[in-house]
Amino acid sequence: MRKDAWWIQPLFVFSVFTAFVVYSTWAAFQGAFYWHENLLSPFYSPEIWGASEHALWQRTGTPGWWPGFLPYSPAFLILWAPVSFRLTCYYYRGAYYKAYWPGPPSCSVGVPREAYIGERKFPLIVQNLHRYALPFALLLLVFLTIDAWNSFRFDAAGGGKEFGLSVGSFVLTLNVVFLSAYTFGCHSLRHLVGGGMDVLSGRPVRRKAYECVSCLNARHMAFAWTSLLWVAFSDIYVRLCAMDVWTNVRFF
């Protein structure tokens, strides 16, 4: 039996994941305080159908096609994309198998059960379709980049927009940077851009793409955590600004 404090890591993963899932679920159900002036919470981006000025279709109330017995929030229309991407992510799989299943809770600690099917049969065989969540995660980055750009554009006194800088600009820009570093380091993307081939010499574009993705992939765990925590903080920041608890300080 290992004599070191092996339980710290799975306990940390369990605690942070659980806290994130609880908070993000609560935030998604709120359907309010998710934007403040030129800031939009990443949990609600893109706001496909909603009341804010950031919405692609700016409407109040619930879409007509939405089942009446279900509560509605703009977050429900998009959160499935990042959830499915992270849930099937190769890094997160290893981490949450250890923290929740646990199989095993940590290396050379022992598994508290005998039966094991791995990812060969349902339900975990579905994990093999991680690559199908990738395009949606990439598409979200486009919208989050637009949100970050909008966070630098403020209403001008004489009408129109003017360039400015606030704390929120930093928050949303860092959010898209961390999420991009995580998404572009995806193992499936690494395979698709070149890892699936044995010969990359003579294919300069593929080779460069493979090198770039591999570089980020080597730090996939770090970016997975950084982006997870920062996206939650971004929502908290926008939410507290919208609730007038915090003030989005503008530098110019």
**Using CB under 8 A as the criterion, which residues of the chain lie in contact with other proteins when the complex forms?**
1-4, 90-91, 93-94, 97-98, 103-104, 107-108, 110-111, 114, 116-120, 124-125, 128-129, 131-132, 187-188, 190-191, 195-202, 207, 217-218, 220
H or E element that contains 145:
helix 130-150
Could you give the CA distance from residue 34 to residue 85 in angstroms, rounded to a whole number? 22
Residue 198: CB minimum distance to other proteins, A: 5
Could you give the CA distance from residue 174 to residue 190 in angstroms, rounded to a whole number? 23
Report the residue number, 142 or 218, with the smaller CB distance to other proteins.
Answer: 218
Residue 232: CB minimum distance to other proteins, A: 24
Cβ-count burial 191-218 (b if 16+ within 10 Å, e if not) = eebbbeeeebeeeeebbebbebbeebbe
> Which amino acid would we find at residue 93?
R
**In this structure, are residues 50 and 65 in contact, taking their beta carbons and an 8 Å threshold?**
no
Residue 79: CB minimum distance to other proteins, A: 24
With a CB cutoff of 8 Å and minimum separation 6, the contacts of 154 are 37, 38, 161, 162, 163, 164, 166, 250
Residue 11: CB minimum distance to other proteins, A: 16
Report the residue number, 9 or 52, with the smaller CB distance to other proteins.
Answer: 9
Report the residue number, 64 or 118, with the smaller CB distance to other proteins.
Answer: 118
With a CB cutoff of 8 Å and minimum separation 6, the contacts of 159 are none
Report the residue number, 134 or 238, with the smaller CB distance to other proteins.
Answer: 134
H or E element that contains 155:
strand 153-155
Report the residue number, 131 or 153, with the smaller CB distance to other proteins.
Answer: 131
Residue 213: CB minimum distance to other proteins, A: 12
